[in-house]
Amino acid sequence: MITPVSLGTWPTPLEAAPKLAARLGLAELWFKRDDLNGLGGGGNKIRKLQYTCAQAIAEGATTLITSGAPQSNHARLTAAAAARLGLACVLVLAGSPPPNRRGNLLLDGLAGAEIVWAGDSPLAEVVAGEAERRSAYVIPFGGTSSVSTQGYVDCGRELRAQVPDIGRTEVLVALGSGGTMAGLVRELGVERVVGVHTGAVSDPRATVAGLLVGEVEPDALRIDGSQVGTGYQTLTDAVRAALETTAREEGVFLDPTYTGRAMAALLAGSFPHGDKVVFLHSGGLPGLFGHPGL
């Protein structure tokens, strides 16, 4: 078992959302505020990075390399974690540089990350070349691995302590690279966790089940696919409405790719749920300021 490095402030708050609960006809709605965990603007990737960075340091790495979209939350937080730990950071981002650095891309630079643009080349191919050239530790796309999944087992344990009747409460989470949902399922059980597919992976069931080898059948996972729309980077009308509703009802800001989709699914009532829900706020606010659809 890897001992994680400390990169955040734990446990993160659990906050009631009574106005949204009333709107949805829920007895209780809570926000698990993993957007308020301290480092680099906050977000769910910090729990994962505590484990992957510990592994990198144990292997003697002095440079971290990871990849993502230009507005990747994971890339931003990898850059921040590297800065905190005194490591160099290389971010391999999809496509070509935009005319202006905004949102997460601006923060990547402030944290001192070197950005390599992949252009038309596959991200994995560019990452492999950079890693070989620099002898660096590679953190997977989205920060998800069998090691980093432990970060959301930790979160599940926090929820057990914070929510006395967690056995009758559903936890709703945006599903990207799968590690957040997988860790929660491992700790809380498959029946307690609902993942909202964001379009980040082609087969979300296989992705999550692959991180829980032998623990759960893919078909047993509770995954809602109603909010993917025309693509991962596209802002849908339902997501825009979810951003506005959450901000105006509870003063909480969501992001347009992950938490916005999760809230859109909750507002649409598109999955079976009981009357007590914890909404995992996985962060992503800086991405609002770099999203072309806003």
Degrees, nearest 5: CA angle 193-288-263: 30
d(CA 256, CA 242): 9
d(CA 104, CA 76): 6
| Catalytic residue flag (residue 72) | yes
Catalytic residue among 72, 145, 148, 282: 72
Main-chain phi, psi angles of 260, to 5 degrees: -60, -40
User: Which residues participate in catalysis according to the annotation?
Assistant: 72
